[in-house]
Amino acid sequence: MNIKSTFVKMWPLYLTIIMLWIKTYVVYKTSFDIKIESLMQELILFINPLSFLLFFFGITLLVKEKARIPLLYTFGFITSFVLFANVVYYRFFNDFLTIPVLFQTSNMADLGNSASELMHFSDLLIFSDLVILWIVLTIAKKKQLLVNFQPLLKREKASYVLMATIISVVNLGLAEIERPQLLTRTFDREMLVKNIGTYNFHIYDVLLQSKSSAQRAFADGSEFVEIENYLKANVRQPNEELFGIAKDKNIIVISMESTQSFVIGETIDGELITPFLNEFIKDSYYFDNFYHQTGQGKTSDSEFLLDNSLYPLGRGAVFFTHGTNEYQGTPELIKDHGYYSSVMHANNKSFWNRDIMYQSLGYDHFFEIGDYEVNEENSIGWGLKDKEFFEQSIELLKSQPEPYYTKFITLTNHFPFELNEEDKLVNEYTSNSRTLNRYFPTVRYTDEAIKHFIQRLKDEGIYENSIIILYGDHYGISENHNKAMAQFLGKDEITPFDSVQLQKVPLIVHIPGHKVKENVISKVSGQIDLKPTILNLMGISSQDQVQFGTDLFSENKIPFTVLRDGSFITDEYVYTNHECYKKSTGEPTEAAECEPFMDKAKKELEYSDKIVYGDLLRFYDGNDYLGEEVLQQDN
């Protein structure tokens, strides 16, 4: 076989692959924040696009010679588009695309402003190699250099496949040495992309998706035995004084968009960012060690945690992927206790598949954009301004039968944090991050909106008869803004330990007329604990529920919370990115110190995922659980 003549026949293919390869690596380095710790990791990152590209573009060798060039362009475009979509998605979500996210098309349509903010003109450069290819091929055609219409010999094809295989095996081998069990631990997408590359990652994701469809088909409920045993050990006695304190009262839950704990009590140019919440906290139970546990489903994931005490999924938004599963959500459970349930949120009802999911959760009504008067004057960014939203919601609230469980979802403090000048009550920050700079005035605005809302509840006589629970849904400032964040917090840098600490969101439980003994509660906790806490406050025993959380007021709650990416927090340690940190100092420490909790962290997520993927609650009748027995042992 003449290597030269083979190359002459195949040069357009190699040119396309090499350009795509280099381009992908440049995008890795410029658009994604992939942490590289060694030369070996850099090498893996560098070669990983190649292992996919050689195989994928190798397909062009299987078609008739004439169809090869058009197919090269088509594949080149598909690959570039995948890269482009990831770059745009990563810019905000700090994460890579997955199949379920792609199917959230109804969300894409609503993204409007945010999407255009996220796309940069320079992103088009991602397609530049296709233009170069076109120019080169056009010139080559004119100069009659395109001899690739000649058929390839069998041997030539075989050596191409051999080369592609060797590169893939080397890639996978190095990845396996670097990170054993890479493909079985799936919730760390950055690790996957770093090792097998963004394209192979998408193929892997497709396989995962098929697996999850099969999981439901094959589940028969027998998986419950092991899960039940685990859950039984988590059951804790509710707090005697607070159990039933909200009995027959209205429960008003407010999900505060993108509100992280670091703004509480803080100032900007000497002005408080959350003056109202700071005061409200003094008269409430405030949890200052409370974490969001959301994944790709953002707000909807926090709603999932709130109403089910199950974890959202490691990939995609569970509201989308498993919107028609059988659940035992709070809205459904409280029906038997005479409660009416609803959600108020001035956005399209299909966003996050809410209209479907709310039915599965048992909500009686969803007041969505059509129930509000939304016009240009009273809107900004994602839609109706929070103040207007709360104001208009008062009448809707009054129209409901009591007692009710109503969830409000605010919107103004959403990326890209737009606000009219007259609504800005504090200055923007000054840093290299426009996002962080604009974040503070919108947080301040929502704080003001909540202040008005609470006042309106008082005016209308609703307040005394209600319990008000506020929580932050998820982070607003991603790790892409670490430099500016470090500047704001007065730190040299944001370490992985700090990043976990920044996942804290405020949780405030306000019980009118109740004298709060200890108003700041620093137990390690998360959104998973909301459901049992709320049910116990309502006097509805939550012991026999399939749930992963614990009542936050329980005296002996285990100080442990796992985040959706597998990081976990105990009262002494923080574990993230395969490192164990001492909480008191933030310094890395021996992995062995975190070891005792690793199994628990893994089980929590695995068992919860099993329930969701297998749709296991369809096999559970609500009695088949031994919570009471455990309670007796507890006493």
* 447 versus 473: smaller Cβ distance to Mn ion: 473
CA distance 341 to 538: 14
Of residues 409 and 594, the one with the C-beta less far from ligand GP9: 409
Size (the chain), residues: 635
- Does 342 contact Mn ion by CB under 5 A? no
Q: Residue 409 touches which of Mn ion, ligand GP9, none (CB < 5 to 8 A by kind)?
A: ligand GP9
Please enumerate, by residue number, every residue annotated as part of a binding site for Mn(2+). Answer: 257, 299, 473-474
Query: Residue 551 and residue 476: Cα distance in Å, rounded?
Result: 27
Report the residue from 24, 293, 299, 353 that binds Mn ion according to the rule CB under 5 A.
Answer: 299
> Which of these, 13, 124, 18, lies nearest to 73 by C-alpha position?
13
Residue 364 engages Mn ion in binding (rule: CB under 5 A): no
| Binding of Mn ion by 330 (CB under 5 A) | no
Judged by beta carbon, residue 414 or residue 531, the one nearer ligand GP9 is 414
Quick check: 463 and 454 in contact, CB under 8 A?
yes
Q: Which two tokens stand for residue 513?
A: 């007329």
Q: How far is the CB of 476 from ligand GP9 (least distance, A)?
A: 9
Out of ligand GP9, Mn ion, none, which partner does residue 450 contact, by CB within 5 to 8 A per kind?
none
In the complex, the residues that contact ligand GP9 under the rule CB under 6 A are 257, 298-299, 347, 351, 409, 411, 414
Q: Is 418 helix (H, G, I), strand (E, B) or coil?
A: coil
CA dist 287 to 503, 506, 522, 601, Å? Answer: 13, 7, 6, 21
Element (H, E) at 290: strand 290-291
Name which of 473 and 565 has its Cβ closer to Mn ion: 473
Contact (CB, 8 A) for 409 and 380? no
The 10 Å CB-count burial string (b at 16+, else e) for 465-490 is: ebbbbbbbbbbbbbebbbebbbbbee
Q: How far is the CB of 13 from ligand GP9 (least distance, A)?
A: 41
* Residue 407 contacts residue 303 (beta carbons within 8 Å): yes
Q: Which is nearer to ligand GP9, 274 or 347 (CB)?
A: 347
Tell me the closest approach of the beta carbon of residue 272 to ligand GP9, in angstroms. Answer: 24
Q: Which does 536 bind (CB under 5 to 8 A by kind): Mn ion, ligand GP9, none?
A: none
Q: Which two tokens stand for residue 618?
A: 């369809």
Instruction: From the list ligand GP9, Mn ion, none, pick the one residue 236 interacts with, judged by a Cβ distance below 5 to 8 Å according to partner type.
Output: none
Using CB under 5 A as the binding rule, whether residue 442 contacts Mn ion is answered as no
In the complex, which residue's CB is closest to Mn ion?
A: 299
Which range binds Mn ion by CB under 5 A, 46-54, 298-306, 389-397, 423-431?
298-306
Residue 86 and residue 96 in contact, taking contact as beta carbons nearer than 8 Å: yes
Those residues whose C-beta lies under 8 Å from the C-beta of residue 54, and which sit 6 or more positions away, are 17, 160, 163, 164, 167, 168
**Binding to Mn ion in span 471-500, by CB under 5 A:** 473
167 or 346: CB nearest ligand GP9 = 346
3-state secondary structure of 251: strand
Least Å from the CB of residue 383 to ligand GP9: 8
Identify residue 194 by its one-letter amino acid code. Answer: K
Name which of 261, 298, 318, 322 is nearest 504 in CA terms.
261
CB 75 within 8 A of CB 60: yes
Q: Which does 481 bind (CB under 5 to 8 A by kind): Mn ion, ligand GP9, none?
A: none
Number of residues that bind Mn ion (CB under 5 A): 4
299 is catalytic: yes
Could you give the CA distance from residue 415 to residue 344 in angstroms, rounded to a whole number?
20
Q: CA-CA distance, 98 to 203, in Å (whole number)?
A: 10
| Nearer Cβ to Mn ion (117/223) | 117
Q: Which listed option, Mn ion, ligand GP9, none, makes contact with residue 156 (CB within 5 to 8 Å by class)?
A: none
347 binds, among ligand GP9, Mn ion, none (CB under 5 to 8 A by kind): ligand GP9
Give the active site residue among 16, 60, 198, 299: 299
Residue type (1 letter), 414: H
Question: For residues 521 and 552, is the Cβ–Cβ distance under 8 A?
Answer: yes
Which residue's CB comes closest to ligand GP9?
Answer: 298
Query: Shortest approach of ligand GP9 to residue 65 CB, angstroms?
Result: 48
Residue 194 or 414 with smaller CB distance to ligand GP9: 414
Distance of closest approach, residue 348 Cβ to ligand GP9, in angstroms: 8
Q: Which stretch binds Mn ion (CB under 5 A): 94-102, 162-170, 296-304, 498-506?
A: 296-304
As measured in angstroms, the least distance from the Cβ of 347 to ligand GP9 is 4
Residue 351 interacts with which of Mn ion, ligand GP9, none, CB < 5 to 8 Å by class: ligand GP9
Nearest distance, CB of residue 315 and Mn ion, angstroms: 18
Residue that is written with structure tokens 């007692």 in the block: 403
Q: What is the spatial distance between Cα 530 and Cα 341, in angstroms, rounded to a whole number? A: 16
Among the listed ranges 28-36, 297-305, 324-332, 517-525, the one in contact with Mn ion (CB under 5 A) is 297-305
How many angstroms separate the Cα of 160 from the Cα of each of 109, 147, 588? Answer: 43, 18, 47
Binding residues for substrate: 414
- Kindly compute the dihedral angle of the four CA atoms of residues 310, 311, 312, 315, in this order, to the nearest 10 degrees: -140
Q: How far is CA 376 from CA 351, 383, 384, in A?
A: 20, 9, 9
Tell me the binding residues. 257, 299, 414, 473-474
Are 531 and 287 spatial neighbours (Cβ–Cβ below 8 Å)? no
Reference 372, options 341, 343, 352; nearest CA is: 343
Residues lying near Mn ion in the complex (CB under 5 A) are found at: 257, 298-299, 473
Active-site residue numbers?
A: 299
